[in-house]
Amino acid sequence: MPWLRRAGLLVLGSAAMLVGFAPAASATDPLTLTSEVTDEAGALSADQLAQVQSALDTLAADTEYQLYVVLLPDFSGEEPLTWVDSTATSSGLGSQDFVLAFSTQAPYQYALAPESSGSITSSEVEAVAASVEDDLRAAKTSGDWATAVVTAATGLDTAATSTATSTGTSSGMSFGTLLLIGFAVIAVIALVATARGRRKAGRDPALAGPTGAAQIVDPFADVPTAELDRRSSAALVRLDDALRGSEQELGFAQAQFGEDSTRQFAQVLTQGKSRVTEAFRLRQTLDDDVPDTEPQVRATAAQILALCTQTAQELDDQKAAFDQLRSVQDRVGDALDAHERSVATQRARVEPARATLTTLAARFPATSLTSVAANADQADRLLTDVGSTIGQGRAAVAAGDKATAVGFAKAAEGALAQVDRLLDAIEAAGDELATIGPRLQAAVASISADLADATRLAPQDVDVQARSQEARAAITVAQDAVAGSGDPLAALSRITAAEAAIDGTLAPWRERDEQHGRTRALVDQTLGRVASAVRATNDYIETRRGAVGPQARTRLAEADRLARQADARKAGEPDAALADAQHAEQLVGEAQQLAQLDVERDEQNRRGPGGFGGQGGGSNLGGMVLGGLLLGEILGGGHGGGFGGGWGGGGGDFGGGGGGFGDGGFGGGF
């Protein structure tokens, strides 16, 4: 049952505490997963989170498997599969659990593990991983990380349902079998913890096999090492020659176009020299007397090629810019001719524009036309200036100074564009004035919502409050224009600019607010689990008051207090509330185990040695009965389903094949 497996995450964590299991922290600490989706990168919107959760719910409902998803900014240099393995261990995940983790920033990497589980084969998981990698690669530009998660969930669902077998765990097992399975669960947890600790301590990521560690995809995987080494040497020589030639090219360009036009080329050249120096240093490490392993040779050669490729591309971009500039100079005469034709075209629009202004003045008050009233005269003056500029450009061409002629041509082009905007504004004024009232009212409503956000999200932010003052002033101007005492066109332009400004300063605050919303959702999820566990543990203690001591009661009371505190803090302090809720979940787990141990000790004292089950084994069996009752109450399944499908089934072999969370996986760069 899906609800049984999900609640099992909490119970398994508590069971690990019972046998003294605690994962050691590494350079990048693994997470202890408290929900199916952990978005450390803040990359999922509320809608995307709902989409992802729906896919995970479907997988859990359709199959015996569960997928946990982790979004990270990066893996901080740790191999993704190693990180996933550590996280699965610290979270107490089992053989029917999968983990998909990926980074949303460079270097882009991911891992999907384990490489197989039950009826889902390694080749099926590999196919799912390949589809996920395609979606992740697309998400680098689209930002749609949710699609990759949905692909993983649906892929695993399809693989599981297409190869599902008819075997399963009977819900009608005998009471004695239930006891033995419960004992096997606790014993195997201890063995898994010990084995994983030894395996983790002895693992060298650099020596891991192809399914033991995810690595960034090698773009030269099909190139023999000797050929890769040769290519890097040849590329370095070609780039060194290109840089030497580029120094001469820079001198020519500075003489032809001036230092202002070539400043960026000079910067690129300086950066290129620095990269070539580093590439030659790397080359020396391959040519010295110190032997290099084949992986070292390949890595160094690939780094040299990357440095050369980046620098060569930047030099090519600069060359293309110079070619375009030379092309402009060659065509400057044609450009001046075209501008002269544009002057004639625009001048023909000036008188009709004046006539339009006269018509508008008869329909609208003068204040409504303030922003366009002088446009026709200004356009006329600009056209006269453009004619003079074109004449100066032609004189420069005749003198052989094409660079100066290009400057005049660009000045004329800019002025003509301004003329076009001035005359367009007159032609559009009639239609705009006819609808300006409703548009201004809509703009006021929109920017008023921004002001409400500014007050709610950033009342102390100086920039936000400054933009808020501008917005309020723009609202006043707009309201005056609607009332007939101002220029509505100018008011609309001002309020539009003010809204763009306040939106820009509010963007990070709104993003933070959205992140807080996701955190509040996590708080609610965690508190829901805590509430169920607190009720079940409280009922357990209530019915066994004579046996349960103060430690379990203290932890239960503190868990309840922290849960209430988290609920009170989540609105204003969501991060602190989440920490409280997670601490409460930890404490209620401890309370469960301590209460169970107290009852076991009380039963043993009352029975005496061998009092139940014979040969001194009665205390263990009696403890497992009470433990099964407690776990059954927490999970809501009672005796009949408490261990029926969540912890491995098939004879109580937790994790299957001698382990909990499966080995191996697929991943790499994308």
pLDDT tens, residue by residue, 265-277 = 788 888 888 888 8
Asked if 645 and 168 touch (Cβ cutoff 8 Å), the reply is: yes
Residue 355, H or E segment: helix 332-363
Residues 6+ apart with CB under 8 A from 222: none
Cis peptide leading into 114, omega within 30 of 0? yes
Residue 68 has pLDDT above 90, yes or no: yes
pLDDT in tens, 111-163: 999 988 888 888 889 889 989 998 999 998 888 999 999 999 999 998 888 75
Phi (first) and psi of residue 219, to 5 degrees: -70, -15
Q: What is the pLDDT of residues 237-254, one digit of tens each?
A: 888 888 887 776 777 666
pLDDT average, residue stretch 440-448: 90
Virtual CA dihedral for 363, 366, 370, 375, nearest 10 degrees?
Answer: 60
Query: Cα–Cα distance between 285 and 362 in angstroms, integer?
Result: 83
* Count of all residues that appear for the chain in the document: 670
Mean pLDDT across the chain? 77
Identify whether the C-beta of residue 21 lies closer than 8 Å to the C-beta of residue 189: yes
Supply φ then ψ for residue 113, to 5 degrees: -145, 155
Q: At the topology level of CATH, where does 2-215+662-669 sit?
A: Diaminopimelate Epimerase; Chain A, domain 1 (3.10.310)
For the chain, the distance separating the N- and C-terminal CA atoms, rounded to the nearest angstrom, is 35
> Residues 6 or more apart from 217 whose CB is under 8 A from it?
668, 669, 670
Q: Tell me how far CA of residue 62 lies from CA of 1, 231, 269, in angstroms.
A: 9, 52, 60
Q: What pLDDT is recorded for position 608?
A: 62
Between helix 488-542 and helix 618-635 the angle, nearest 10°, is 150
Nearest-angstrom CA–CA distance, 266 and 254 = 10
**In this model, does residue 661 exceed pLDDT 80?**
no
For residue 468, what are the CA distances in angstroms to 226, 447, 491, 495? 64, 9, 16, 12
pTM for this predicted structure: 0.32
- The DSSP 8-state label assigned to residue 31 in this structure reads P
Query: CA-to-CA distance for 492 and 558, rounded, in angstroms?
Result: 58
- Return d(Cα 332, Cα 168) in angstroms, integer: 82
Integer CA distances (angstroms), 307 to 249, 586, 623, in order:
21, 49, 65
DSSP state of 111: E
Look at residue 544 in the predicted model and tell me its pLDDT: 86
Please report the pLDDT score of residue 640 as a whole number: 35
Strand partners, 100: 69, 112
Looking at residue 345, its pLDDT comes to 93
Dump the DSSP string for 135-180. Answer: HHHHHHHH---HHHHHHHHHHHHHHHHHS--S----TT--HHHHHH
pLDDT digits (tens, 9 = 90+) for 158-167: 888 875 543 3
User: Residue 222: its pLDDT value, please?
Assistant: 80
Residue 656 has pLDDT above 50, yes or no: no
Q: What is the pLDDT of residues 474-505, one digit of tens each?
A: 999 888 877 777 788 888 888 999 999 999 98
pLDDT-based confidence at residue 332 (cuts at 50, 70, 90): confident
Q: Is the distance from CB of 402 to CB of 396 less than 8 angstroms?
A: yes
SS in 3 state form for 188-257? HHHHHHHHHHHHHHCCCHHHCCCCCCCCCCCCCCCCCHHHHHHHHHHHHHHHHHHHHHHHHHHHHHHHHH
pLDDT number for residue 217: 53
Q: In the numeric block, which tokens belong to residue 574?
A: 């969501």
Q: What span, in angstroms and rounded, lies between the C-alpha atoms of 15 and 13?
A: 5
- Ranges 449-453, 560-564, 654-658: which has the least confidence: 654-658
Query: What are the residues whose beta carbons fall under 8 Å from the beta carbon of 522, sequence distance 6 or more?
Result: 34, 35, 578, 581
Using a 10 angstrom Cβ sphere, with 0-12 exposed, 13-18 middle and 19 or more buried, the burial of residue 304 is buried
Q: Using DSSP, state whether 638 is helix, strand or coil.
A: helix
Lowest mean pLDDT segment, chosen from 241-250, 549-558, 605-614:
605-614
Q: Are 307 and 278 in contact (CB under 8 A)?
A: yes
Task: Look at residues 61, 163, 67 and name the one whose alpha carbon lies nearest to residue 119.
Answer: 163
pLDDT in tens, 351-403: 999 998 888 887 777 777 787 889 999 999 999 999 999 999 999 889 988 87
The DSSP line for 551-605 is: HHHHHHHHHHHHHHHHHHHTTT-HHHHHHHHHHHHHHHHHHHHHHHHHHHHHHHH
> How many CB atoms lie under 10 A from the CB of residue 492?
20
Tell me what pLDDT residue 605 has.
81
β-pair partners for 38: 70
